[in-house]
Structure 1
């Protein structure tokens, strides 16, 4: 429209239709306002990383229902399908408070009026709370009640978003399809039962920006309409199989809790539980951790092993320092399977200390000086080590009472008693040390009660680090950031996976381990390729405006663990980078 031009004058019939439509919608405005104020989106956990600025590529695939379900009335079939679909979404996303796009069912009162159609929202929010402990019939009643609400309130005027102050700031609500996932019911047949077809174009109006689940009320068939640039066709085929498996489970026993109904077809269940667990592989099961480290020393003694602030040690230097300390520990009586406590701030001395304990045959017992003193004393009392490697911070954290029964080796001393001892590798066989002896003892968090000690053998660590290096093709050119407390299991691979393949370890100073800006600076300064973060810290890192340029340019992998990795964090990462994000939660 050119500047100065006038809008066309409405005909009397159009004006009356618009006025009547607003009068019809007005009683439901508060209902929709409250629901829109609770706006939320749902993300599927198996999205592809889209090509930047790529237009949507809409495709469709269809599926049918079990024959027993086909015998039900159209209304019952529809309720079954919708309940099953919403249950499935709750199961795979972990979200039980669902809000999806819904195509309102017109009663024909405004039929034929284009002026009215453009003023009324074509997609509205469906809201459902899925209780996974309820049986299917109870959840079906919840869905039926929501259908009644949607019929009663129909839709809302599009300008509601602009008129309502609490909605204006929600940018997504200005989109034609605010919800990524939508559901619509039609009277057109979606497919022949059981058929799986893919066509290049989606037929009906879409109500989901990513995925629309279309149900035919007449025959119970259904169809997915999806953006293939973000959701692979093979995933919608899997969803069809899962949904059909769930429906078969419901028809077999509708009284079971919806959270326990089988989702997997037999073939996929066998693949996941049996085929993928055929993971037997050769690894150096007879070698101790430090023996594999020593092999890297012989291969590249001048290569940088560990860096802390402005200090660094080569593989040869780290080995020599650890050997001298190990000979001292052997002289102090350290033997295989004997726990040796170590309580230091993150430093070169910390790495020297844990390596020396292993070389002496002991099992390191990590104590984090940042932990409460009562927690540290509880661990010491339970594990009963006789020897402690510490710095000033470690001794202060433990307190004088805990030190009474411990022989303390000060790793900060300027004139260590072991400085002139041999730099040669202690001989494991002479110590009676094998890969079946303990490498470390680590304590659980105590979140479910008293912290419990977990004893881990050398061969277990070697198995894990060998798998990780092979699975992710990690190599000597990689640079690991070590930021996890030694008291957490993730620190094991941050340290040993790196040092057993000849890679470099960058130690993040303890006082900066939760400072995302410091982490970004170190990533950029040292060109880190392998990073471990808890999801909450990854989320904070992704909020930095310059994260794309300064933080991830050199990264090959980000490993996440320690917390649930939420779908929204994964979605943010996929928008930002093509680097691998690996979920290690729940080892």
Structure 2
């Protein structure tokens, strides 16, 4: 009925719906689909027996606010135009457009759609009974083919798919979503294509409700310091904090924090007042943090090693009026107007105050701390976190075990929100907290501290975890719970750790500062890991939604942006109302009008079991020569190489001013690996446009002070160092001419005949230039395919010489088969 109303055919309507499905699944607004056509548009050929079928390439451009009716109009016009040119062979179109070719997929399109709506007449032969035979194909001709047919029972669908790309459950879901889509289109064709429902009611219930059923009771109306005081009453004489040779019991820590809090209140500290704390690692650091909270204030950690300009900005932006520090740091502090309180012996001023608990009006909704994180504008932004968010992290939660038997290591800088877990996960449960003595993690010292204090609960960034597994795996024997995260965990390192310590709880923790340290956790058991380590499921009192740009939940297996809700959400960004409004949005799935979601900018997808796979950052999504690429995908592929320990992929500007991919690789301990070997491995798994232009082998990856990979500090690739082995100069005229052309195009000073064009930074765009210059210098028309098949200088020179000889033979009529050979090579 819809087709008749809009003057469209059934094929056009189904094609528009299929394009909508692909748009919703892929997030791509430019969709190209192939479709076969009988190509019998002349009456003279209708009765002829033969195969006249041609392939049409139908391009559909979708926009979020486009209604299906509008899309159908576009598809109708596109299809009618294509019908007018159906005589043009598909091969001729490919030749004219010259798309980048790959052996892994067909050119121009990788998805086919076909509708069989021509009635099949009965064939009768005397003495013979005929019946239809369904031929089952075992080889997919395209990545995905949807074949539909009109039958007396309605429309039938057959899905053919490449099993390297899809599994059966994915195709079954896709088929179900296509059916849902068609039903929704029939009901309301004026609805925007971005809003047409894909999911069934059961799927929505699973994604939005069942997998977010995380609510548990916890002391949500209590503050951090109140819970600490309750713990002091339970275990007053237990050791609370250890720093080198010093230690404080819970009672002693409480008394000292109370004295400081009384003093701070005399300076005007109360709820919502921000107090700076710029101290070295020490017992005073913990006393200071706890004292600020007891006074009702919120602590703002300031790292003494930060540049003065950055500290000055943070002090000014937070409006800090009281600053806790130490005598030896006074000369390094930026100019400010805050009242300074030195936590080391202060003439007895602090000690003169009462050690008794304070009475304050602070509530769980008041600020506990403001932590500054890097901002895209270059200036750091302060994330404001309330008491309730911290309590939700460490009280009655489900991802780790907190109790008085644990010995925590306080390793993270207090400017990094992992310290929230270490500090309050320990001190609110009667555990012993050991403060790491050095401001910057030192592996040798870390090993000593873990051994000396028999650390049982340890948080490591992914970078430190990898280093420990590589260098000091045996030193982790006391650890009973190891939480790692902050970056992507290497599957290889996880496997090695699990093999050595099968009884230690290994937990992959994921979460932005804006949701108080942890959002999702995945306990890594003995089960077989795939290509990546999942980030797991939302922790207690946390909701996670994977949504498309229109805030619609995406199906299982489909990539979307991860959004977070629940009690861990920060209040927002300090003094940044516009940024807060853009990142903390109303929660469309909650009946509570005040509920919000945080847009993480992280790409993720649900796995079949409800666990979540992290796929990278939206801002790690790059375009290289027109192709949109997820850097995380390249990293995942390279990490599958058995000799690779870690990998980071980034995009950089190459010698010609274009963006190119660069991979930085660390080999397994004791292994040797070359960039050529990595490229050869990767070429087998991903399209050529995703193969890094340079692979750089490093001994270690640079880390930020927080232990994450410092992408800005990764070295620039030196293409001259990509030369293959010993230098062999050009030996023939052709090699000499080629070397000169390569030097000019690749901007590399010395070219060996063994060098590979692509290993030196070449890519498809530069290959096109190379082909043109070869034609001009050597008078040989070289197909682009030859450059990919013969990519070393020596092999390419040999190919050119062979072509020249064949051309001469053809011109001299000395070889009869030469013309056919040259035609097949694309030279004639």
Query: In which range does the TM-score fall when normalised by the shorter chain?
Result: 0.5 to 0.7
For 1:252-271, what aligned pairs fall within 5 Å after superposition? 252-266=187-201, 268-269=203-204
For 1:60-75, what aligned pairs fall within 5 Å after superposition? 73-75=9-11
Unaligned ranges ≥5, structure 2: 119-134, 443-459, 515-528, 539-543, 545-561, 565-597, 599-828
Please say if 1:288 is aligned against 2:223. Answer: yes
Unaligned ranges ≥5, structure 1: 1-66, 114-121, 168-172, 190-200, 564-572
Match of 1:529 in 2: 482
Which of 178, 185, 199 is the aligned partner of 2:114?
185
Match of 1:78 in 2: 14
Distance apart, 1:364 and its partner CA: 1.4
Match of 1:407 in 2: 340
Match of 1:340 in 2: 275
Contact 2:225/2:294 (8 A) holds in 1: yes
Distance apart, 1:399 and its partner CA: 0.9
Higher RCO (Cα < 8 Å, 6 or more apart): 1
Counterparts of 2:31 and 2:435 in 1: how far apart (Å)? 43
Which of 1, 12, 23 is the aligned partner of 1:87?
23
Which of 496, 507, 510 is the aligned partner of 2:424?
496
Question: Judging changes above 3 Å, is the alpha-carbon distance between structure 1 residues 318 and 126 closer, same or farther for their aligned structure 2 residues?
Answer: farther
Contact 2:311/2:334 (8 A) holds in 1: no
Question: Judging changes above 3 Å, is the alpha-carbon distance between structure 1 residues 130 and 483 closer, same or farther for their aligned structure 2 residues?
Answer: farther
Query: What SS does the aligned partner of 1:215 have?
Result: strand
Please say if 1:206 is aligned against 2:134. Answer: no
Please say if 1:520 is aligned against 2:500. Answer: no
Query: What SS does the aligned partner of 1:356 have?
Result: helix
For 1:104-503, what aligned pairs fall within 5 Å after superposition? 130-137=62-69, 139-140=71-72, 148=82, 154=90, 173-175=102-104, 182-185=111-114, 187=116, 205-207=139-141, 212=144, 214-218=146-150, 220-224=155-159, 238-266=173-201, 268-269=203-204, 281-293=216-228, 298=234, 317=249, 320-321=252-253, 323-333=255-265, 335-337=269-271, 338-344=273-279, 350-368=285-303, 376-381=311-316, 383-390=318-325, 399-400=334-335, 402=336, 404-410=337-343, 413=344, 415=345, 426-428=356-358, 430-431=359-360, 435=364, 437-441=366-370, 456-466=385-395, 469-470=397-398, 472-476=399-403, 492-493=420-421, 495-497=423-425, 499-500=427-428, 502=431
Distance apart, 1:387 and its partner CA: 1.8
Counterparts of 2:346 and 2:57 in 1: how far apart (Å)? 70
Query: What SS does the aligned partner of 2:395 have?
Result: helix
Question: Judging changes above 3 Å, is the alpha-carbon distance between structure 1 residues 70 and 365 closer, same or farther for their aligned structure 2 residues?
Answer: farther
Question: Judging changes above 3 Å, is the alpha-carbon distance between structure 1 residues 448 and 480 closer, same or farther for their aligned structure 2 residues?
Answer: farther
* 1:361-380, Cα deviation, whole Å (9 max, x unpaired): 43212345576656654553
Counterparts of 2:339 and 2:258 in 1: how far apart (Å)? 18
Question: Judging changes above 3 Å, is the alpha-carbon distance between structure 1 residues 78 and 292 closer, same or farther for their aligned structure 2 residues?
Answer: same
Contact 2:19/2:31 (8 A) holds in 1: no
Counterparts of 1:503 and 1:145 in 2: how far apart (Å)? 72
Match of 2:820 in 1: none
Counterparts of 1:306 and 1:188 in 2: how far apart (Å)? 79
Question: Judging changes above 3 Å, is the alpha-carbon distance between structure 1 residues 521 and 447 closer, same or farther for their aligned structure 2 residues?
Answer: closer
Query: What SS does the aligned partner of 1:399 have?
Result: coil
Distance apart, 1:265 and its partner CA: 4.0
Contact 2:265/2:295 (8 A) holds in 1: no
Counterparts of 1:481 and 1:207 in 2: how far apart (Å)? 56
Match of 2:736 in 1: none
Counterparts of 2:109 and 2:346 in 1: how far apart (Å)? 63
Counterparts of 2:105 and 2:321 in 1: how far apart (Å)? 69
Question: Judging changes above 3 Å, is the alpha-carbon distance between structure 1 residues 104 and 68 closer, same or farther for their aligned structure 2 residues?
Answer: closer
Please say if 1:575 is aligned against 2:503. Answer: no
Question: Judging changes above 3 Å, is the alpha-carbon distance between structure 1 residues 95 and 312 closer, same or farther for their aligned structure 2 residues?
Answer: farther
Match of 1:34 in 2: none
Contact 1:243/1:263 (8 A) holds in 2: yes
* 1:530-560, Cα deviation, whole Å (9 max, x unpaired): 2231xxx42xx64xx9544567776322314
Counterparts of 1:143 and 1:423 in 2: how far apart (Å)? 79
Counterparts of 1:255 and 1:398 in 2: how far apart (Å)? 62
* 1:471-491, Cα deviation, whole Å (9 max, x unpaired): x35445889897877567665
Match of 2:824 in 1: none
Q: Which has the higher strand share?
A: 2
Counterparts of 2:194 and 2:437 in 1: how far apart (Å)? 42
Counterparts of 2:37 and 2:327 in 1: how far apart (Å)? 72
Contact 1:306/1:505 (8 A) holds in 2: yes
Distance apart, 1:250 and its partner CA: 3.5
* 1:258-303, Cα deviation, whole Å (9 max, x unpaired): 3333434455546655677776542113432134346667569768
Query: What SS does the aligned partner of 1:333 have?
Result: helix
Question: Judging changes above 3 Å, is the alpha-carbon distance between structure 1 residues 578 and 329 closer, same or farther for their aligned structure 2 residues?
Answer: closer
Contact 1:482/1:505 (8 A) holds in 2: yes
Counterparts of 1:285 and 1:301 in 2: how far apart (Å)? 27
Q: Which has the higher helix share?
A: 1
* 1:12-37, Cα deviation, whole Å (9 max, x unpaired): xxxxxxxxxxxxxxxxxxxxxxxxxx
Counterparts of 1:546 and 1:276 in 2: how far apart (Å)? 29
Contact 2:149/2:157 (8 A) holds in 1: no
Counterparts of 2:468 and 2:145 in 1: how far apart (Å)? 46
CA RMSD of aligned residues (A): 6.0
> How many residue pairs end up in the alignment?
459
Match of 2:612 in 1: none
Distance apart, 1:453 and its partner CA: 6.8
Query: What SS does the aligned partner of 1:556 have?
Result: strand
